Amino acid sequence: MSAPSRDTAALAASPPFATVAPLLARLPARTFPTVEHLNALARERGLRSGGGAPIEFVHAGAARDYEVTIYREGRVPTRPGNWHDLFNALAWLTFPRTKATLNRLHYEAIVRSPAPRLRGTARDVLTLFDEGGVIVACAEPELAALLAAFQWKQLFWWRRDEVRSAMRFLVFGHAIHEQALAPYKGVTAKALVAPVGAAALAAPPEALLARLDAHAAAHFTRPEALASTRSLHPLPVLGIPGWTSANEDPAFYDDPAVFRSGRRAAGRAAPGTGALARVS
């Protein structure tokens, strides 16, 4: 989605953009950020590709060998005035370890494949999370189980106060940020649940982000994480309390086209919750 300039300060105040709010505060408020703005932040943070090359956001169209170019050269194609590419850059700046890990895993899959243009399941999982991922920090296992079991009304309405206190929904995927510019009820992310302690949720936001970045990077290095596209939970993001005023009405969750019943039974361990150490 290409768009005219937008007040980035107003975006930063909106819950779906909380993950990138500190970066938005450092970018021009009423003009579209340029690659020069982004590269200044990249140098400050020492961003590296999956292959160790310094990250540089460059004016370019879609690269034919996108992941290979990033891995080997660190050059991330970034179209001027393009929200999708801007949010991709902000994901690199916010989750550098996870983005580098995804880039490395894409590259390794490409060089191993006899037909690199065929993505395969592992790369499909990586792409789904890269575009549509949300990291869900959760300090209450019962709430994580409800999410895994698609018990949306039970989770987001009947246990609404607990969700507010014991869960944090941190957008990773740049396509979710792009869709949040003009949100609609059916926007669905792919959630990676990260078990945390109460101390992690009470920590400064930057500390929580750093821990979850490390958690997600470690998660995707496990072969079982890439074995199926079902390893990530569907998450209808406008059901999250506070993300839209419409969900202050319990009837909002009665739409079966959006809040669908699921394939997992309640109480079954959620991928990414049991096998990794808790983020404390």
Q: For residue range 38-89, what is the model confidence (pLDDT) as tens digits?
A: 999 999 999 999 999 999 999 976 557 899 999 999 999 999 999 999 999 9
Residue 130 has pLDDT above 50, yes or no: yes
CA dist 9 and 274 (Å) reads 38
pLDDT of res. 174: 97
CA dist 138 and 147 (Å) reads 10
Of 97, 120, 143, the domain-final residue = 120
> 173 with 189: CB under 8 angstroms?
yes
pLDDT of res. 65: 87
Q: Are residues 116 and 173 in the same domain?
A: no
Residue 227 has pLDDT above 70, yes or no: yes
- How many domains is the chain partitioned into structurally? 2
Residue 260 has pLDDT above 50, yes or no: yes
Confidence of residue 128 (pLDDT cuts 50, 70, 90): very high
Question: Edge-to-edge, what's the strand order for the sheet holding 167-171?
Answer: 167-171, 133-138, 188-195, 233-236
What is the residue-averaged pLDDT of the chain?
Answer: 89
pLDDT of res. 113: 74
Confidence of residue 269 (pLDDT cuts 50, 70, 90): very low
Is 262 inside any structural domain?
no
Confidence of residue 222 (pLDDT cuts 50, 70, 90): very high
Average pLDDT of the segment spanning 9-33 = 88
For residue 263, give both structure tokens: 């394939």
Residue 198 has pLDDT above 80, yes or no: yes
Query: How much is the CA Rg of the chain, to the nearest whole Å?
Result: 18
Is 229 inside any structural domain?
yes
CA distances from 34 to 82, 85, 174, 222, 251 (A): 10, 11, 17, 36, 43
The domain containing residue 175 runs over which residues? Answer: 126-254
pLDDT of res. 6: 61
Is 2 inside any structural domain?
no
pLDDT of res. 73: 96
Determine the distance from the C-alpha atom of residue 56 to the mean position of all C-alpha atoms in its chain, rounded to a whole number: 21
Q: Are residues 131 and 248 in the same domain?
A: yes
Is 264 inside any structural domain?
no
pLDDT of res. 21: 93
Is 12 inside any structural domain?
yes
Average pLDDT of the segment spanning 90-97 = 98
> 42 with 93: CB under 8 angstroms?
yes
What DSSP line would sit under 186-210, residue for residue? T-EEEEEEEEB-HHHHHS-HHHHHH
Residue 150 has pLDDT above 50, yes or no: yes
3-state SS, residue 170: strand
Mean pLDDT check: name the lowest of 61-75, 128-142, 170-184, 263-277.
263-277
- What secondary structure letter does DSSP report for 158? I
pLDDT of res. 117: 66
Helices marked H in 29-169:
35-45, 66-73, 83-94, 96-112, 120-132, 141-148, 152-153, 160-166
Q: Are residues 113 and 169 in the same domain?
A: no
Residue 186 half-sphere exposure toward CB, CA atoms < 13 A: 2
63 residue type, one letter: A
